[in-house]
Amino acid sequence: MTGTGTGVGKTISTAAIAALAAGQGRRVAVLKPAQTGVGPDEPGDLADVLRLAGPVTTRELRRYPDPLSPEAAARLSGLPTLTPSEIAAAASDLNGEHDLTLIEGAGGLLVRFDADGATLADVAWSLGALVIIVAEAGLGTLNATALTAEVATKRGLTVAGVIIGSWPDEPDLAAVSNLADLPVAAGAPLLGVLPAGLGTAGPEEFAERAKAGLSPWFGGEFDPECFVGRASAQK
């Protein structure tokens, strides 16, 4: 799970996929290699996943207090960095005991974990994992999505699709237009659109709205053509 930047709804999207899979009786694990900008005793992204998706397995490998890239945060704090092999080993360990393992990156695909330039792209390549891009809805998202997808493809990764992580209550013209253009930019299908503010829902409502907002590929009911049609009719 990678985003086109920070604050695009990556954690909510990860939790939504986890919730649907867990609701189908699948054993689900969510791995967060590096959590930044959170103190030792503060709840991080995995706390949100547990609150929203229910009792799935979670694992965090490093935590850094400063809201920076994992590499920069590790350097500033003096804490050890992460290597792709360490992340891949943790993912493989979890995958051996679960039906689905989701790896949530920090920021975008090329955010660095260490001084050698290791990124989530390296982890995905070493595992042969599919990449799901979580993108913003509005202006500027097409370029960021296309860049992410192009880098992923050139590194030998397979982009499974794109999810809009936070769909506004009152979408503007750019957001509605991007519904058709995002799959072109990603070179992969639109696999879901999740409403803004979904993270404040209780577990039951969250599961219902996740099912409505995610593709049957995840066990949901999202139909991109119907969604695009409804959104276009409102403009």
> How many structural domains are present in the chain?
1
> What is the CATH number for 40?
3.40.50.300
State the catalytic residues. Answer: 32
Can you give the pLDDT at residue 232? 85
Can you give the pLDDT at residue 233? 84
Which pTM does this prediction carry? 0.96
170: containing domain: 2-233
Nearest 5°: phi and psi at 72?
-65, -40
Q: What are the average pLDDT values for consecutive 10-residue runs of the chain, which has 235 residues?
A: 94 98 97 95 95 97 96 96 94 97 94 94 96 97 98 97 97 96 97 97 97 97 93 80
Can you give the pLDDT at residue 235? 64
Q: How far apart are CA 88 and CA 147, in angstroms?
A: 24
Largest CA distance in the chain: 54
Q: How far apart are CA 234 and CA 151, in angstroms?
A: 35
